[in-house]
Structure 1
Amino acid sequence: MDHIPTVPRADELLDRAFRKASRIEVRRSSARKDTQRKIDSTITYVEVRLDRVVRSFPSFEHLHSFYLELFDLMFGVDRARHSLGAVQWAHGAIHRLRPVASKRLSAGDDPDRVRRMVYGRMASILHDIADDLLDLDRIRRMMLAAPELDFDRPIVVICGYPNVGKSTLVRRITTAEPKVAQYPFTTKEVHLGHMELAGRRVQVMDTPGLFDRPVEEMNPIERQGIAALRHIADVAVVIMDPTETCGYRWESQVRLLDLLRGWVDVPLIVVENKADSELFVRRLDDSIPLSALDSPGGELEGLLSRIAELLPPAGPHPSLAGDPAPSDR
């Protein structure tokens, strides 16, 4: 998806098409032929660029289920389809102007009047899809910001309440640089990092904070994390804060953990974070206590070893069994 070019604005398309046509050499012995050449040049320029817009977007029908749900949460897949359909309509409407102009010129209509008619109709058509072009460029930027996953490599998803230390841990063990600050809701989208583990390159995804509530009550930001857990996780790591300095009570975090155990059908590791705090008291027998901020390497190795034990065998990601492979079209 990194090949999607900038989507031009409607006025930009018109301006460039008209300027290109204006540079065509005029042969005063044949005004009708000159007009036809200008019209053909203008129509062709716009046709090619509208066609490029439509073809550059991937076919949503062939996207992996994770990307399909992620994009639906980010911008609405139906909205993208509508805008792409509008651009296709405009392409066809402008294409049909060519034979109309040719017929009128052949019938002896005034060349300047025919050219003004074609240019005016083109301007009207592009004006009709101006908002769709703007929307598609916004969608393009969001698609390019999505994590680029390798479905031949394992994926570990980090999740939990806001401000419990998810991004700090991801930054500590991987190459990722998620934005980290000491306040809730820092992470508003999924981020991807990589690490070498047991001779394999592993992808680690940082997700937005979750709350202990049903999926249907979650906002689109939370549901990005749920999409990752449901569609691509090989191992889920739930970060919890027993010090409650994250701003959320332990009981709420436990309820979320119980929900996640019901939602996720992959191995789940529980980490009790902020072990460096004087407020820290380990509360779960099956958890891994550590400080994502400054635990010594040995403590982190315990977590990494546990992840390595739970990774699936090498090979294509299990999610591909029921999904078509990601496609450029």
Structure 2
Amino acid sequence: MIFESLPTTPTSEELLDKAFSRAARAGRAKQGVEAQQSMLQTASNILGDNLHNVVTEWPDFDHVDPFYGELADAILREEFASEDGVDELRQHLSELSWASSKTHDLGREYIGRLPNDAEKARKLRKQGFARMGSVMNQVEDDLAAVGAARDALKTIPDIRPDVPTVVVAGYPNVGKSSFVNAVTNANIETAEYPFTTKSVDIGHFQHERVTWQLVDTPGLLDRPADERNEIEDQAVSALTHVGDVILFFLDPSGTCGYPLGDQRALRAEVADRFGDTPLVTVCSKTDLSEEVEADCYMSVENDEGIEETLNAAVEAAGHEPELPFEE
């Protein structure tokens, strides 16, 4: 996952401590003006290079898969309590890029100004350090914001946009989790969106030697849009980029606690939100009731219709696996 490998972002204080302590060691290895030159070079290199590395470790959001791009924007809007999300992160990274260039420039400037007198050179070096410290103070909040963004985004569920995907939807307790567990042999990975306490369940299954993923998103696609906040709604928008087919579960028995009319209304809303994505309606809990029109009828309790439901989802998705080039 693209954000998982982002390194920890150092604080301004940590970078200054690192730069000036290493500069002091570099200075002790030399004498006179040469020692001051070495200290300036070391400090500016450490500050400039580390800031540069913070910026370049981030992906270019213009080339990030739309799923991760929209989801990142939703998470960062929540993190920054802002309407800007990714754009605000870009601004913080831009400030760090400026600070990287500025600290390098200050090193070159003060090295170029060092006189031949060792004491005067020491005083000038201290001025250079003070200006580098001032630059780092200016971007202290930017480093903190980038660090907070990294911590939030590294927890994005590892949903693979390049893998054919079945998105499971429907009200709570309609049999979705039982189905996902049944068809994936309980090989379930769970992760949490940073803005919800609900876990996202991600399972995998093989069909004709192709790996598919099933994604069940409690807290997102198990309630009407008017009950989701703006950030959760954007996460649903992100899911439209990865879903090859929607399996929508209906429980006509009523044991889920939601009237069938409400379940049908949610199905219509999900179908509208996912646009051209095929939607397969599943009558779940057929051991209790089959009184609803559906594409598939299934009971995990009785081990009936599970394979047929999975095959219907694969067929509706129409995924064509890439085959090796044949001469």
Greater alpha carbon shift after TM alignment, 110-119 vs 42-51: 110-119
1:235-289 alpha-carbon deviations (Å, 9 max, x no partner): 111123445554543322211111222233122112233456xxx4334211534
**Matched AA of 1:43:** S
Instruction: Report the equivalent of 2:97.
Output: 88
Instruction: Give the % identical residues.
Output: 29
Instruction: Report the equivalent of 1:220.
Output: 231
Instruction: Report the equivalent of 2:213.
Output: 203
Select 1:112's aligned residue among 122, 147, 155: 122
Select 1:286's aligned residue among 294, 299, 302: 294
Say which SS state the counterpart of residue 188 (structure 2) adopts. Answer: coil
- Residue pairs, 1:56-75, within 5 angstroms: 56-75=57-76
C-alpha distance in 1 between matches for 2:123 and 2:255: 73
Instruction: Report the equivalent of 1:42.
Output: 43
1:135-159 alpha-carbon deviations (Å, 9 max, x no partner): 2222223333334454543111112
User: Quick one: structure 1 residues 186 and 103, their matched pair in 2 at CA, closer, same or farther if it must change by over 3 Å?
Assistant: closer
Instruction: Report the equivalent of 1:21.
Output: 23
**Matched AA of 1:262:** D
Instruction: Report the equivalent of 1:249.
Output: 259
Q: Following TM superposition, by how much is the alpha carbon of 1:187 offset from its aligned partner in structure 2, in angstroms?
A: 2.6
**Matched AA of 2:290:** R
**Matched AA of 1:284:** V
Higher relative contact order (CA 8 A, sep 6+): 1
Q: Following TM superposition, by how much is the alpha carbon of 1:308 offset from its aligned partner in structure 2, in angstroms?
A: 2.5
Instruction: Report the equivalent of 1:178.
Output: 190
C-alpha distance in 1 between matches for 2:15 and 2:321: 46
**Matched AA of 2:93:** L
**Matched AA of 1:266:** T
Instruction: Report the equivalent of 1:304.
Output: 310
Say which SS state the counterpart of residue 6 (structure 2) adopts. Answer: coil
C-alpha distance in 2 between matches for 1:261 and 1:153: 21
C-alpha distance in 1 between matches for 2:94 and 2:170: 39
Instruction: Report the equivalent of 1:136.
Output: 146
User: Quick one: structure 1 residues 122 and 171, their matched pair in 2 at CA, closer, same or farther if it must change by over 3 Å?
Assistant: farther
Greater alpha carbon shift after TM alignment, 240-249 vs 135-144: 240-249
C-alpha distance in 1 between matches for 2:249 and 2:315: 19
User: Quick one: structure 1 residues 212 and 205, their matched pair in 2 at CA, closer, same or farther if it must change by over 3 Å?
Assistant: same
C-alpha distance in 2 between matches for 1:254 and 1:99: 68
How many residue pairs were aligned? 303
Instruction: Report the equivalent of 1:262.
Output: 272
Q: Following TM superposition, by how much is the alpha carbon of 1:36 offset from its aligned partner in structure 2, in angstroms?
A: 1.1
Say which SS state the counterpart of residue 132 (structure 2) adopts. Answer: helix
Answer yes or no: is the 8 Å Cα contact 1:167–1:178 preserved in 2.
no
Confirm whether residue 12 of structure 1 aligns to residue 14 of structure 2: yes
C-alpha distance in 2 between matches for 1:164 and 1:178: 19
User: Quick one: structure 1 residues 238 and 218, their matched pair in 2 at CA, closer, same or farther if it must change by over 3 Å?
Assistant: farther
Say which SS state the counterpart of residue 204 (structure 2) adopts. Answer: strand
The CA RMSD over aligned residues, in Å, is 2.9
C-alpha distance in 2 between matches for 1:121 and 1:291: 70
Answer yes or no: is the 8 Å Cα contact 1:207–1:224 preserved in 2.
no
**Residue ranges of structure 1 left out of the alignment (5+ in a row):** 317-329
Answer yes or no: is the 8 Å Cα contact 1:171–1:178 preserved in 2.
no
**Matched AA of 1:213:** A
